[in-house]
Structure formats: structure tokens, C-alpha cells
């Protein structure tokens, strides 16, 4: 071998070693901003700034630490001849997290800008990002791109579209995509069955479940059982609820926390709850969910005890919850409310003292409403908004009109650790009421008010929004921790379940 050729070989080997070392450094840096920037600087100093593999890995990790779009864009434009593999890798990695989903849409737009052809793989993850962002606008645009590019019949793309449309309250569109699927996936069946139930369409949910059973193409699983049980509890589908329970027992399915909670809800709401036989439901909880019922199952039982005003059993169930999760503020609040409803104010004071002594902190409730593409967050009594005076004044007028129509504050539904003089204020200026008032002020007459609440709505607020519909004639949709609530014609799609 000639000396010159030997030298080139050594140089090449050295570069390979250096790039291997750099790749190892990237892996060690992980999704942390400062170490990544140091490795990036090293890549440039090494003269490897044109290495597609290194830059792809750097970009992926940069996305995972939520680096600014401008920084990731600088890295992206330095990649020589970016291809579909690079963009698909970036889109997939960012679509997996809700906080990074906007990045996925950015990379998709860059892919179009670079005139790189998308695939069914690309569209599946881009649609998932639109679902995470609850962006109707972008999802519909991407759906158009899917049809134009000839991917409208690909099962994974169609399944993602069904999931998207159910999440953004477009059940009609979800149904159209579903019916046009040549082959229906598990995801598609689950999404539409769950979507119907979440939006209060229990009958449609159960009918679709029956249809799935008849086709025999997809075997029922725990996920679908949970949804159907919730629909049975909401609609009163006792027969189907019993069938699901018997099937679970017959097949020896593992009673997970979620499935066990759904079974309890169904049994209590349909079998025992409505007949007032809560003691039988309590026995079912103790005997049918081995080895020990999880907190969500006890919480479900406790909620029904409160609903049917069985305070003695409710207190016993609450003690089970506190034994399992002694630091959960919500359990103390629920127990306090049960004692207060039973006029056991001595017990209420005892619970309040425990909350204070343990320095327990409650989850702060908030509501988010989007107006003209911008999101606004409200918490109880929140006066941080620039137009808070107008919002509060309008809400006061609205509550007065609701009172004239028959609405009253139900003080016993408010947390009993709140001082007496603070309760009416807490009820009047709940986060969802402030968000709705703002929405009514800022949106066109006849349009639907939509908001998201991070925790479950109070019963009192649920009642108040029905009256707000009567006064304003505006449809209101609230998505809380458990489901969508469609307020229309003075009632709610959840049937107050």
C-alpha cells in the first residue's frame, strides 16, 4: 500500500472513531439542553456538521427537551439533503408527547416546504399530533392532504382520523370515516365506541359494541368493556351490563383497576344503587376485586353513597380510602361533605383539623377556553385577566337572571373546609363560569361555547350551566376530567351521571 493511501485510511478511521465517540456522547447527554448544546458545538468543531446520522439524533433529542423551534430549525437547515426518513423520525418522536405535538406539525410543514413526499406513516403520526392538540383546523387540513395524496383507504391513517374526529367532537365525521374503512382496526372500533360514550351517546355506543360482537372481526377486550359498562350505567342497559359482567367472570379476565371501577359503577348505578341496596354493592366490592380494591374503586363506591345519601356506609368507605391514601386531600374533602350532609358538624371540624395538621394541598381547578386561536385560562375568582371587571360584571348579571329562572346556590355541595362567607363567592366565580362568561362576551351569537376543565365539575356548576343555556340559548360543551358534557335544551348529555 502506498504511504499516501495508508494516510488517507488512517484519517478515515480516525473520523469514524470520532463520530462514534460523538454519537456515544449524544446518547449520554440524553434529552438535556445544555449537554446537547455542548455536543452540538463539538460536532461543529469536529467538522462533522454535515453528518446526517449525528444531526438526526441531535434533532430528535433536542425535540424531546422542548427546545425552541428556532433552535431546532437551525439544526434542520444544516442537514444535507434531508429525506423522508429524517422527517418521519422527527414527526414520530414529537407526536408521542402532547407538549411536543406542535413541533410535529412544524416538521410536517417543513417536509412540504422541502417538497418531500409524505407517506401513510407520516400522516398517521401527524394526525395523532392534531388529536393531542385538539386542533380541528389542522386536522381537517391534514385529512385533505391524505385524500389528495391517495392515502384515504390506509387502515392506520383512517384509524387515526376516527380517533381525531371523536376527540374534537366531530362524531359525524368520525362515523363517515369509520363506515368507509375497508378493514376496521381495534383502534377504530375503540375510538368510536368510546367517543359515543364520552359525548353522552350511550345508545349509539352500545349499538356499535353489539355490531362489533356480531361481526366477530374484533374480539372484545377490557378497554371496550370499560366503555360499554359506563354506557350501560348512563343509559340503564342492565341486560348488556350483566352480560359483560358474566363474560368477564366466565373468561377469567383479570379485573384491573379500570375494569373493576367500571364494574362497580355499573353495579351500583343499575343493580344496587337505583334499588337502594348499597350494602350489596359494598359486598361486591369487597369480594369481587381481589386482593384489595384500589382507590378508584373505593372512590366510585363513595360517590354513589353520597348520591344515595347513605352517610354511614359512605363514612365507612371513606375510611378505607384514607387508609390506602392518607395524603390525598380529595378524600378528606369528600368525607367532610358526607358528614356535613348528615349534619355531623363535629366530624366536619375533625376532618378540617386533619387537613390543616397534615398541611394537605388540594388540586387547583382551572378552565381553558380558546377564542380566535388563543387560549385563556381561568381559576376560581381569577382577576388576572385584563378584562376581569367586564367578565365579573357580566357573570353577576347572568347569575341574577339564572336566579330569576329558578337557579339557587346549593351550599352543601361546596367543600366544607371553605369558610362560610367564602362559599357563595366560590360558587359564583367558579373557573368554568368565568370562562363561559368570557366566551359569551367574545364569541358571535349562536356559536357554541367550548372549554376544558382539569378536574371533575362540581354538581352545583353542572346545574348552573343548564340555567345559563336557558338564559342565553347558547350550546355549551365542557370537557372535564371524566367526559364531555354537552349542555343543550336545558339538559346535559351525561344525564347527570
What Cα–Cα distance (Å) separates residue 420 from each residue in 31, 58, 411, 497? 49, 56, 9, 28
In this structure, of 42-46, 87-91, 267-271, 369-373, the range with the lowest mean pLDDT score is: 267-271
In this structure, of 85-89, 132-136, 174-178, 360-364, the range with the lowest mean pLDDT score is: 360-364
Domain boundaries, the chain: 254-362, 367-492
Angle (CA) 28 29 31, round 5°: 120
Measured distance CA(164)–CA(146) in Å, rounded: 14
Measured distance CA(259)–CA(225) in Å, rounded: 7
Cβ proximity of 307 and 339 under 8 Å: no
- Please check the confidence at residue 242 and state whether its pLDDT lies above 70: no
Measured distance CA(448)–CA(439) in Å, rounded: 9
Instruction: Look at residue 30 in the predicted model and tell me its pLDDT.
Output: 52
Measured distance CA(239)–CA(197) in Å, rounded: 17
Of the candidates 70, 73, 21, 28, the one whose C-alpha atom is nearest the C-alpha of residue 48 is 21
| Architecture category of domain 254-362 in CATH | Alpha Horseshoe (1.25)
- Per the prediction, the chain carries an average pLDDT of 78
In 3-state terms, what secondary structure has residue 366? strand
Q: In what order do the strands lie in the sheet with 366-371?
A: 374-379, 366-371, 449-453, 476-479, 484-488, 491-492
- Please check the confidence at residue 20 and state whether its pLDDT lies above 50: no
Measured distance CA(140)–CA(146) in Å, rounded: 10
Summarised one tens digit per residue, pLDDT across range 360-385 is 777 778 899 988 878 899 998 888 88
Of the candidates 181, 180, 253, the one whose C-alpha atom is nearest the C-alpha of residue 221 is 253
Instruction: Look at residue 14 in the predicted model and tell me its pLDDT.
Output: 38
User: Confidence class of residue 260 from pLDDT cuts 50, 70 and 90?
Assistant: low
Instruction: Look at residue 467 in the predicted model and tell me its pLDDT.
Output: 92
370: part of which helix (H) or strand (E)? strand 366-371
Summarised one tens digit per residue, pLDDT across range 159-212 is 999 999 998 889 999 999 999 998 888 889 888 988 888 887 878 887 888 888
Instruction: Look at residue 257 in the predicted model and tell me its pLDDT.
Output: 62
Taking the whole predicted model, whether its pTM rises above 0.75 is answered as no
Instruction: Look at residue 194 in the predicted model and tell me its pLDDT.
Output: 84
Distance linking the first and last C-alpha atoms of the chain: 83
- Grid cell 374533602 is found at 333
In this structure, of 105-114, 173-182, 183-192, 218-227, the range with the lowest mean pLDDT score is: 218-227
Cβ proximity of 254 and 226 under 8 Å: no
In this structure, of 241-245, 446-450, 485-489, the range with the lowest mean pLDDT score is: 241-245
DSSP 8-state assignment for residue 489: T
* Greater pLDDT, 184 or 26: 184
Amino acid at each position: 500500500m502506498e504511504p499516501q493511501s495508508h494516510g488517507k485510511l488512517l484519517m478515515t478511521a480516525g473520523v469514524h472513531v470520532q463520530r462514534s465517540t460523538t454519537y456515544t456522547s449524544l446518547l449520554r447527554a440524553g434529552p438535556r439542553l445544555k449537554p446537547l448544546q455542548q455536543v452540538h458545538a463539538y460536532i461543529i468543531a469536529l467538522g462533522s456538521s454535515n453528518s446526517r446520522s449525528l444531526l438526526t439524533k441531535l434533532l430528535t433529542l433536542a425535540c424531546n427537551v422542548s427546545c425552541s423551534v428556532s433552535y431546532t430549525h437551525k439544526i434542520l437547515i444544516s442537514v444535507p439533503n434531508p429525506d423522508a426518513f429524517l422527517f418521519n423520525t422527527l414527526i414520530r418522536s414529537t407526536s408521542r408527547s402532547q407538549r411536543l405535538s406542535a413541533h410535529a406539525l412544524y416538521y410536517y410543514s417543513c417536509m412540504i416546504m422541502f417538497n418531500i413526499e409524505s407517506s401513510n406513516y407520516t400522516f398517521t403520526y401527524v394526525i395523532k399530533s392534531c388529536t393531542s392538540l385538539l386542533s380541528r383546523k389542522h386536522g381537517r387540513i391534514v385529512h385533505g392532504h391524505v385524500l389528495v395524496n391517495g392515502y384515504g383507504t390506509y387502515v392506520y391513517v383512517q384509524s387515526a382520523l376516527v380517533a381525531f374526529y371523536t376527540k374534537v367532537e366531530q362524531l359525524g365525521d368520525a362515523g363517515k370515516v369509520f363506515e368507509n374503512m375497508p378493514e376496521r382496526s381495534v383502534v377504530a372500533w375503540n375510538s368510536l365506541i368510546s367517543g359515543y360514550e364520552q359525548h353522552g351517546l350511550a345508545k349509539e355506543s352500545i349499538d356499535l359494541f353489539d355490531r362489533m360482537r356480531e361481526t366477530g372481526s374484533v374480539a372484545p377486550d377490557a378497554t371496550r368493556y370499560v366503555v360499554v359498562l359506563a354506557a350501560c350505567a348512563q343509559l340503564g342497559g342492565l341486560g348488556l351490563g350483566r352480560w359483560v359482567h358474566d363474560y368477564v367472570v366466565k373468561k377469567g379476565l383479570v379485573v384491573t383497576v379500570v375494569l373493576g371501577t367500571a364494574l362497580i359503577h355499573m353495579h351500583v348505578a343499575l343493580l344496587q344503587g337505583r334499588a337502594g341496596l348499597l350494602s350489596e354493592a359494598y359486598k361486591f366490592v369487597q369480594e369481587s376485586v381481589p386482593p384489595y380494591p384500589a382507590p378508584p374503586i373505593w372512590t366510585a363506591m363513595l360517590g354513589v353513597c353520597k348520591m344515595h345519601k347513605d352517610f354511614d356506609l359512605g363514612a365507612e368507605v371513606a375510611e378505607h380510602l384514607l387508609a390506602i391514601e392518607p395524603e390525598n386531600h380529595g378524600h378528606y374533602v369528600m368525607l367532610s361533605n358526607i358528614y356535613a350532609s348528615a349534619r355531623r358538624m363535629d366530624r366536619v371540624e375533625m376532618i378540617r383539623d386533619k387537613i390543616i395538621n397534615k398541611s394537605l394541598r388540594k388540586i387547583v381547578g382551572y378552565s381553558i377556553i380558546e377564542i380566535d386561536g388563543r387560549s385563556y385560562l381561568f381559576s376560581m375568582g381569577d382577576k388576572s385577566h385584563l378584562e376581569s371587571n367586564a367578565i365579573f360584571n357580566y357573570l353577576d348579571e347572568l347569575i341574577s337572571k339564572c336566579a330569576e329562572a329558578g337557579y339557587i346556590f346549593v351550599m352543601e355541595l361546596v367543600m366544607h373546609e371553605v369558610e362560610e362567607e367564602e362559599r357563595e363567592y366560590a360558587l359564583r366565580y367558579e373557573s368554568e363560569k368565568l370562562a363561559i362568561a368570557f366566551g359569551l362576551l367574545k364569541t358571535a351569537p349562536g356559536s357554541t361555547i367550548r372549554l376544558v376543565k382539569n378536574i371533575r365539575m362540581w354538581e352545583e356548576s353542572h346545574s348552573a350551566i343548564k340555567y345559563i343555556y336557558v338564559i342565553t340559548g347558547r350550546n355549551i360543551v365542557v370537557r372535564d376530567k371524566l367526559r364531555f358534557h354537552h349542555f343543550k335544551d336545558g339538559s346535559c348529555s351525561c344525564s347527570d351521571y
